[in-house]
Amino acid sequence: MVQKNGSTPAGVRLRNNVHVSGNPSGRPLIFAHGFGCSQEMWRDVVPAFAADYCIVLFDHVGAGDSDLSSYDYGKYDSLHGYADDVLEVMAELDLHDAVYVGHSVSSMIGVLAATRDPARFGALALVCPSPRYTNVDDYVGGFEQSEIDGLLDALDSNYLGWSATMAPVMMGNADRPELGQELTTSFCKTDPDIASHFAHVTFLSDNRNDLGRVSTPTLILQSEHDVIAPLPVGEYVHGMISGSTFVVLPISGHCPNLSAPGLLATEIRAFLA
Amino acid sequence: MTEHRSAESRASHDEWSDTPEQRYADAPCGLLTTTPDGILTEVNDTFLRWTGYSRTSVIGTPFEQLLTVGSHVFYETRYLPVLRLAGEVRELSLTLRCAGGGTLPVLVNATTHLGPDGRPRLVRTAIFDSTQRHSLERELLVARRVAEASEARVRVLQDAGAAFGACDSEESVAAALVDCARQAFRATAAAVVLIEESGDMRLAAGDHPLLEALAGTVVRRPEADALSNGRAVTITSLQDATSRFPDVADALRATRLEALSVIPLIGGERSVGLLLCFYGRQRGFDDDVLALQAALALQAVQVFERVRLHAELENLALYDPLTGLANRKLLQHTLGAALVSAERKHTPMAVVFLDLDGFKAVNDGLGHLAGDAVLEQVADRLRAVVRGSDTVARFGGDEFVVVCEDINERDARQLADRIRLAVRRPLPGVAGSFAVTASVGIALHRPAAGAATTVADLLQAADSSMYVSKSAGKDGITVVTV
């Protein structure tokens, strides 16, 4: 019988390219990568937890070494489809009291998953979260609608445009053998069509109403200077998730998991202590 | 002279010399050096000339601050992660903000250089003016989008046509429509609801996440609007739903959906049903999408009509138009199936054959219309006295056959007697002064190993028994076991 990946337990691991490492008897710690990259984003953060946590890494469908044939445009047209996958991965590994660390859009994916099935979650660490990127009424998301449109255009020209086909880094293809396969072709593989769709879903979703339903202890890690998720957005998330802890990291940029992995790990450990 | 000339040549050589510094400053590309965190520490003259900045204004600022918003986001989500993980990026497309307020599209290569301790020390970046290429690329991208949009439209309708072609029932058409709609509109779920002849709505295919949540509500619903206006009703967001259909908004929220489109399936005068698409996040429905939804709906309606017409024709081919009873073709089919079932289950069955006595006199005396009325009356009486599982067929003329599965001889005789008594009752208003009775023959079949009995055998045996009753004085029953 032919079964689509995801319908069987083995399929879930394959579909999301799940990797378990660290201390098998430790508390589960699941890392979810954001838009544009893959589980490799956590490379420099993982070692700080390997001794005492059971570490779960995975790729969202469409990213990294996930199973592209499992991509369903209807399912992944909202973050709920990704949240379904997170819950399936956690069910497959039978995780309870898990610490979920989500970067960028995966913060919201974690919020959706944790409100759906709080029993599996012990803590949420949201790294540079934003529930909505566009400004509306009194809400400051950081972008005007026109800027979001321009942004999606800019993403398309890299993911779908000429330069994408010229850049083996983007495609993970090997038609430029002189670049060597060892590094450039393997990092952050992304299917261009899926990346474009994921960008639309990421930057056009509005999950502000879901924040108030979080009952899991939550840490919000805010970069001091972050154009994608600026300070007021982090403050908003903090205000909406009652009892949450808000930490502003004295850094610039949207990817502290790469630019300040040690600091990030220290803050997460302090929260969990 | 010699000295002078050599001095002159030295001077011109100096002037045209190509020192590493000059090569850097005037390179045919912008060259930048930054810290691993992206703070500019060195730039060449070409970069300054292209962007209009002064050296002092850019040294010490983060490179990303020179990018447009869109490029900045790409830089953060893609460029930096790849640069950090892979150590280099190649030919990524960014747009710089220039000093005068303009923009400059560039292609960028960057390499991270490690210090003696193995940690990133600096990043060297080369940028190439890609204005021409960029505008060409923009045109290509726009053209590609337009082409893809129209290609997608054609493909959706073609795929739908292919899927519909294989459909032979309303259910299969509905299922194909659900599949096509989910893919074409990237819908989280889709459903087809059909309107029964009674006016009831029936979920024919797909998932209707709101069905349970909305059960029992009597408030105005988008479905009713779509049907009465004959146009699609779209709900673009929860906010939109809250203001127009509050109960739907609650149901959407409860099922983690944010948008909805309801497309009526209307053919000519008749409303076939509705196609509903559910979306997991807010949606704008532009004219192209609405047009495609309407085109798909129209295509589906035509197939629904074809399938329904086909079913009607099939109905005509299997039932006697005068009495509504099974015709000979359906009788053959039903009897064959009953025979197989009896053999398999080892249960007895019976074929009851009846021919009307005195029918010719009605026809001759009162005309064919009265004869037809008698046949209709008899058909109604037969339907009334047989068991629910029996099949009554008009065999031809004034001959009828009843197929009885799972019946013993005693029950078969009782059934035949009920038939006999029902037929001989007077026919007031139809043929009141005529006596019409039935000569009945029963072929009883008890499956036995090794004996192959056919449909023709059973009909032949029942027919012969009927003739025995007829020759024995009519209005009687004869049983034969086959």
Catalytic positions of B, please?
Answer: 398
Q: How many domains does chain B have?
A: 3
User: Predicted confidence band at B361 (pLDDT cuts at 50, 70, 90)?
Assistant: very high
Instruction: Tell me: do B228 and B167 sit in the same domain.
Output: yes
What's phi and psi for B211, nearest 5 deg? -55, -50
Nearest Cα neighbor of B106 from A99, A190, A158 is A158
Instruction: Tell me: do B94 and B233 sit in the same domain.
Output: no
**What pLDDT does A240 receive?**
97
Domain boundary among B100, B129, B158: B129
Enumerate the residues of chain A whose CB falls inside 8 A of the CB of residue B284.
Answer: none
pLDDT in tens, B106-132: 989 999 999 999 888 999 999 999 887
Residue B138 lies in a domain: no
Domain boundary among B315, B343, B377: B315
Residue A154 burial (CB < 10 Å; 0-12/13-18/19+)? buried
- Under an 8 A CB cutoff, do A258 and B85 touch? yes
- Under an 8 A CB cutoff, do A80 and B187 touch? no
* H-type alpha helices, B245-286: 246-254
Residue B243 in 3-state DSSP? helix
- Residue B389's CB is within 10 A of a number of other CB atoms, namely 11
Taking the domains of chain A in order of start, what are their residue ranges? 9-133+206-272
- Under an 8 A CB cutoff, do A40 and B84 touch? no
Minimal-distance CA residue of chain B relative to A105: B77
Minimal-distance CA residue of chain B relative to A103: B77
Instruction: Tell me: do B22 and B100 sit in the same domain.
Output: yes
What's phi and psi for B393, nearest 5 deg? -130, 150
Query: What CATH code is carried by the domain that includes residue B7?
Result: 3.30.450.20
Residue B166 lies in a domain: yes
Closest Cβ–Cβ partner in A34, A73, A80 for B256: A80
pLDDT tens digits in sequence order for chain A, 273 residues long: 334 444 555 599 999 999 999 999 999 999 999 988 899 999 999 999 999 999 999 999 999 899 989 999 999 999 999 999 999 999 999 999 999 999 999 999 999 999 999 999 999 999 999 999 999 989 999 999 888 888 887 777 766 554 444 333 333 333 444 433 333 345 677 777 888 899 999 999 999 999 999 999 999 999 999 989 999 999 999 999 999 999 999 998 899 998 899 999 999 999 999
Residue B383 lies in a domain: yes
- Under an 8 A CB cutoff, do A147 and B189 touch? no
Domain enclosing residue B453, as ranges: 328-481
Instruction: Tell me: do B45 and B98 sit in the same domain.
Output: yes
- Under an 8 A CB cutoff, do B82 and A227 touch? no
- B224, B193 in Cβ contact below 8 A? no
- Quick one: A9-133+206-272 is in which CATH superfamily? Alpha/Beta hydrolase fold, catalytic domain (3.40.50.1820)
Closest Cβ–Cβ partner in B69, B88, B93 for A184: B88
Query: What CATH code is carried by the domain that includes residue B448?
Result: 3.30.70.270
Residue B136 lies in a domain: no
ipTM over 0.90: no
Residue B142 lies in a domain: no
Instruction: Tell me: do B105 and B165 sit in the same domain.
Output: no
Chain A nearest C-alpha distance from B157 (Å)? 18
Enumerate the residues of chain B whose CB falls inside 8 A of the CB of residue A198.
Answer: none
Comparing B222 with B32, the larger pLDDT belongs to: B32
Enumerate the residues of chain A whose CB falls inside 8 A of the CB of residue B70.
Answer: 147, 150-155
Closest Cβ–Cβ partner in B70, B93, B189 for A161: B93
Residue B29 lies in a domain: yes
Instruction: Tell me: do B296 and B193 sit in the same domain.
Output: yes
- A246, A238 in Cβ contact below 8 A? yes
Question: Does the active-site annotation cover A254?
Answer: yes
Whether pTM exceeds 0.90: no
Closest Cβ–Cβ partner in B91, B133, B281 for A78: B281
**What pLDDT does A186 receive?**
52
Set A38, A66, A104, A196: catalytic member: A104
- Under an 8 A CB cutoff, do A227 and B73 touch? yes
Residue B468 lies in a domain: yes
Instruction: Tell me: do B375 and B309 sit in the same domain.
Output: no
pLDDT at B173 over 60: yes
Chain B nearest C-alpha distance from A186 (Å)? 8
- A114, A211 in Cβ contact below 8 A? no
- A65, A11 in Cβ contact below 8 A? no
Nearest Cα neighbor of A125 from A23, A12, A256 is A256
* Inter-chain contacts counted by CB atoms under 8 A, chains A and B: 161
Residue B143 lies in a domain: no
Minimal-distance CA residue of chain B relative to A84: B256
